[in-house]
Structure 1
Amino acid sequence: MFTKSFIALSLLAVSSLASQIPAPKAERPSDAQAFLKKQGKDAELFVGNENKRQWWVDSRFGVFMHWNPSSIEGTSISWGRGGLRPHHSSKENKKGVPAERYDNLYKEFNPVKFDADAWIKMVKESGAKYFVFTSKHHDGFCMFETKHTDYNIMNTPFKRDICKELAEACEKYGIKLFFYYSQPDWNHADYKKKDLTDYNKFLHAQIAELLDYPALAGIWWDGLGKHIDNWNGTELVKMIKAKRPDILMNPRFATRKWRFGDYDTPEQEIGGFQIDRPWETCLTMGQKWSHVHNTKQVLPFEVCMRSLIRCAGGDGNLLLNVGPTPEGTIRQVEQDNYRRMGQWLKKYGESIYATRGGPYKPAHWGMSTRTEKAIYLHVLQHWPDGVLEIADPGLKVLKAEALTGGDLRFSQKDGKLILNLDASSHDPANTLIKLTTEGSPLTLEVIEAEQTGKALNRQAGVTITPSSESDRGPASVLIKGGKEFVSGAHHRKAWTGLHSDKKPFLEIDLGSIKIFSKVAIEERMAWTDMCRGFFLEYQAPDGSWKEITKGDYLGYFTVDFKPVTAQKVRVRFVNHERPTAVMSFDIFE
């Protein structure tokens, strides 16, 4: 599909030796620093310990599951509930499942096909090293046996402690367990009060119960951005660390911008390159966090695999979510994706596990990871002429080999590393190249991404015309500002068309005639059904539209092509059931 394309990729040829990769040092706002100063020697309890979380950093891959009685309706867990959302919004949600119906779904919840052993065996086979499960979401329903509320799994027809069974299976298969726990509780009577003193006693008591479960390695908080004092969080964290000093925590027990906990949590998008603090992208394989009935709304294997590679290349982890069915099963298409990822990791896990991102920053051609002895190039972009030219890494390359197959040739001279691999040997998901070096790649400073310059569409005088746009994000987000992940951020805006739009497109007018030869488009995968077909085109002088290239799944798509001279560029989306969401549509010289 890229018969007109050619690749001539270059990176800045600037690298130098450093003593080591910088240790994590998060920049925190002044109020967070004041809080930590007040804690004195206990400050580490709130920001984590590098040595204690090293196993997690080395793991790179975890499986997430959102599940509770909401799966009966096939709606978003908690967010699909109608009614009020105390301490979150003063407006009543009138679009969801009526609260009276939603809050009584537990009386029908009887997942007779649930098999904790089978679930965690699949997690093991996926190559993931840890598992995160929703013990309690915002709707307040508890998937574990608790003494502190009747709104729990033991009062369903099922009457089995799902969290306990999963914990025991994790212990059996050597999988580390995290419990997702929502501090907000839209069902609990005490959470509906202005003063949360009584509610916080309940919250603390429940966490104390969960700390006794086997295989527990961490708590995955979801406080919806509230201040740590909302939950009497200082005492909560001290209680947890006193009982379980080894417990890891994400930052959502406090305001996200404080960057507390062991790692940042970008959501539903791949985090940017960040080696000064660990991070984890949480991403849904389907459209929603919980079960939906349409099996077509599932990311293909190639997108799942590339998401893991992009996380590792940015020095982060991937937490990939599915929502089990009301019967307690995981859909076959989702199981297949996980197991195919595991098969890939069995072959090429050396390029993911226990690696660090870099030394090359993420580029349009792909990502890099490194260990003490090797650099791994993950080439995600198509390069049909078989030549990849990048900056010299700063160490002598003793050997270069294509782990995914093929006869790779290389030369290293004049500040460049040139790799030759016949197009027939390129892997559709990831062409993986291993560079064995003289000296440790971990000593290298980061090499900047290729010199593409500022995207033409993000310069003055540019306009964009969408076929339609919803209230989720105007098309203007694609031509204004930057697109890089901001440390500690939750998620970015994206353009989305209307459901009624049968022929969606985005058209960029560069303001004047320009010459360009590279386009990068990133889809927001979780908001919509994945794009299954697209055409990239430019407008010729006679007003007709000419094809540059076309493709199927979009995800994160980049292409280089013979230089085009034009003022207008567009992408048309075809073969989709729901609107496509686009986070970036960048055009380069």
Structure 2
Amino acid sequence: MKKDTLLLLFICLAISNFAQKKKSNYKDQWQFAAKDSSFYVTAEQQKELYATDAEMKWFKDAKLGIFVHWGPALLKTNVLSWGRNGERPGAGKPATNGVDPEIYDNLSKKFNPKNFDADKWMQQVKDWGAEYIVFTAKHHDGFTFFDAKNTEYSIMNTPYGKDICKQLADAAHKAGVKLFWYYSQPDWSHPDNLREKHYENYLPYMKEHVKQLFTEYGKIDGVFWDHLATKYWQWDSYHVLKDMKKWQPGIISNARVGFGWPLEDKGDYDTPEQSLGPVNHHRYWEACLTMTDKWLYSPKGPIKPYETVLSMLIQVAGNGGNLLLNLGPNGKGEFVEKEAIEAEKVGDWIKKYGNTIKNTRRGIYIGGDYGASTQVGNKLYIHVLQQRANNTDAIIELPQLPIEIISATGITDSFTKYDVKNGKLYLHFDKNKFDENLDNIVELTLVENPSKFERIETWKANPIAKKDFEVSSSSFAKAKNKPEAIYNTKGNVFSEGIHLKSWWEPKKEDKTPSLTLDFKSAKKVKTVLLSENMRSHCTRDFTLETKDKNGNWNTVYNGKTIGEGLRIKLNGDAIYGIRLNVLENTKAIQITAFNSYE
């Protein structure tokens, strides 16, 4: 009996310890019940908040927006808010390093963006081909870029001393640029945020900000919330959004309005972060990602080349979303020249081919190894992003359409003809001209609008399984960066705040970095997929080699940039291995995908 009693006691203690550990999860302390029942909503009440199709139309037409993360933090760190080593109410993890709060919170006293020119910003946004701008009126650190009447922690109490939001709003209205305010509900510098007097002190403070931002700056087109790991009722989100719809008729909201709503679809669209999102999501979405490796000004960070940005824009548009590209201005209030140059090249492309992207919807062909498609009316645009290896034809094969094709025209100069046979649509291109284009575009005129037909899957994206090859590399920086790491895709699914956590990274001193797949038997590879970490698109010259039956390695492709989701077409001959050689890179190489498809 005594042993049984001791065993029972041990089990109870173990359960108690487990429960305490579970209860001590950092984010749990920031989650608590509503002040009263009026803060909770029904599914019908949630539906009242959705924007109408008419209100969403301009947003779906726009396709490209500019995100701006900015703040005094750049004087000491390249990480906005998250670079502050203090308590993080609402966050899922505690701070472990960063700038001490007494230093971070006083950086505003030195912040003087004397070269800030709101009109110039808006002209740049337009030159870059964007239709709207999302500006951080208040981030998690609590600093306000507007003349907030209830705090001293604002732009008005810096050496600059002028309302940035007011200038941006006036300039946006004048330039015809749509304007969103980014507003973080959690505030890491307010003593009552998500604490004992949250409902009594902090919520009224937040509501005063929201009312000011959406009533005193003229027409505001949208709001970008950022709720972190909190619940919707903690911000009284239902009543706040109802008020905002009265103040700003037609306003649209992203999905970060707090967890816990009755219906799964929060806000008016989804917001994947540092990810291109899905190819066939059930509603509209916006991929927000950075021009460099950080959201804030990052002077030493890798800058994405325009080819990478364009490829992402085309993939996003073809798969039912917008691209929200973040650029972080410097301490003088100017966009970084090298970033702006790349963004302007994107704008130049949009001036030539923007009609195949803007004002369109995702195409009947689901994105795949060929690229993506867009459509408007009875026009279907095929965006061929796939590159071809040496001695490979320039023919793209797609499933036959359920609609008759009236005509086919090359928007870019590489297209030669099309034919339909055996249930397939074949698009033919001139090899040399095909290789010169980042995006080979074909316009198909159909007998009717294809939107009423079910979308067509174009690619069974099942790569050669890990059990069928051995992976090796010339080196790896750390144990977590072994080449095997990129084949662990657990957790890499479409969700808010998704980040790919695994990549291969060679040692800095590796002069000939390479990644090799040795197949255990011959494989007839037709497509190779390559991707880099979204924060480090830094490859500028690389080759692909394939191994023949005699063990010889032969170069089959030479490219400049990899970026996100580069597909390279091989001729389908049997090979025994494939190797990536990076010849030139601007920053640390970080490969997140290297897959082969038969």
TM-score of Structure 1 vs Structure 2, range by shorter chain = 0.7 to 0.9
Aligned to 2:283, which of 273, 277, 283? 277
Unaligned 5+ runs, structure 1:
1-34
Counterpart code for 2:247: K
Q: Partner of 2:29 in structure 1? A: none
2:232 pairs with 1:228? yes
Shift of 1:474: 6.6
Deviation at 1:124, TM superposition (A): 1.7
SS at match of 1:85: coil
The structural deviation recorded for 1:349 is 1.9
Looking at structure 1, the residues matched to 43 and 585 of structure 2 have their Cα atoms a distance apart, in angstroms, of 55
- Larger mean CA deviation between 352-361 and 495-504 belongs to 495-504
- Aligned residue for 1:389, secondary structure, equals strand
CA apart distance, 1:499: 6.0
Aligned equivalent of 2:19: none
- Residue of structure 1 equivalent to 2:7: none
The answer (yes or no) to whether the contact 2:528–2:594 under 8 Å persists in 1 is yes
Cα–Cα, structure 1 residues 472 and 315, in superposed 2: closer, same or farther, change >3 Å? farther
Deviation string, structure 1 residues 37-87 (Cα, Å, up to 9, x no partner): 953642224444333212211111111111111222351111222333234
Alpha-carbon separation, structure 1, partners of 2:147 and 2:176: 23
Q: Which amino acid aligns with 2:79?
A: S
Show structure 2 runs of 5+ residues with no match.
1-37
* Equivalent residue, structure 1, for 2:441: 432
2:138 is the alignment partner of 1:136: yes
How does 1:293-308 map onto structure 2 within 5 Å?
Answer: 293-294=299-300, 297-308=302-313
Could you say which residue in structure 2 is the equivalent of 1:120?
Answer: 122
Q: 1:133 to 1:370 in 2, by over 3 A?
A: same
- How is 1:348-387 mapped onto 2 (pairs within 5 angstroms)? 348-383=353-388, 385-387=393-395
d(CA) in 2 for partners of 1:219, 1:415: 46
**Distance 1:485-1:351 versus aligned 2 partners, 3 A rule:** farther
CA contact (8 A) 1:407 1:421 kept: yes
Give 1:255's aligned residue: 259
2:56 is equivalent to residue 50 of structure 1: no
Query: How much does 1:520 deviate?
Result: 0.7
Query: Residues 496-533 of structure 1: CA distance to partner in whole angstroms, max 9, x if unpaired?
Result: 4266463544333544443323211122222x252223
Q: What CA distance in whole angstroms lies between the structure 2 residues aligned with 1:270 and 1:420?
A: 28
Matched, 1:171 2:173: yes
What is the deviation of 1:145? 0.7
Task: Work out the CA distance in 2 between the residues paired with 1:500 and 1:514.
Answer: 33
Question: Does structure 1 residue 244 correspond to structure 2 residue 248?
Answer: yes
Partner residue, 1:557: 566
- Structure 1 pair 37/360, CA: closer, same or farther in 2 (3 Å)? farther
Whether the aligned pair in 2 keeps the contact of 1:181 and 1:219 (CA below 8 Å) is: yes
| 8 Å contact kept, 1:168–1:215 | no
Please state if 1:441 is matched with 2:450.
yes
The one of 77, 81, 93 equivalent to 2:80 is: 77
Distance (whole Å) between structure 2 residues aligned to residue 464 and residue 194 of structure 1: 53
Q: Which amino acid in 2 is paired with 1:517?
A: K
Matched-pair contact (CA < 8 Å) for 2:228–2:258: no
473-482 or 427-436, which deviates more: 473-482
Q: Name 1:20's counterpart in structure 2.
A: none
- Is structure 2 residue 404 aligned with structure 1 residue 396? yes
Give 1 or 2 for the bigger CA radius of gyration: 2
Q: Given the two structures, how large is their TM-score scaled by the length of structure 2?
A: 0.85
Corresponding residue of 1:17: none
For the pair 1:291 / 2:297, whether they are aligned, the reply is yes
CA contact (8 A) 1:37 1:43 kept: no
C-alpha distance in 1 between matches for 2:495 and 2:218: 33
Aligned-pair Cα RMSD in Å: 2.8
Identity %: 33
2:428 corresponds to which of 420, 425, 432? 420
Number of residue equivalences: 550
Larger RCO (alpha carbons 8 Å, 6+ apart): 1
Equivalents in 2 of 1:412, 1:247: separation in Å? Answer: 45
Structure 1 residues 91 and 277: CA distance shift in structure 2, 3 A: closer
The C-alpha deviation readout for 1:254-279, integer Å capped at 9, x for no partner, is 22993300101111121122353000
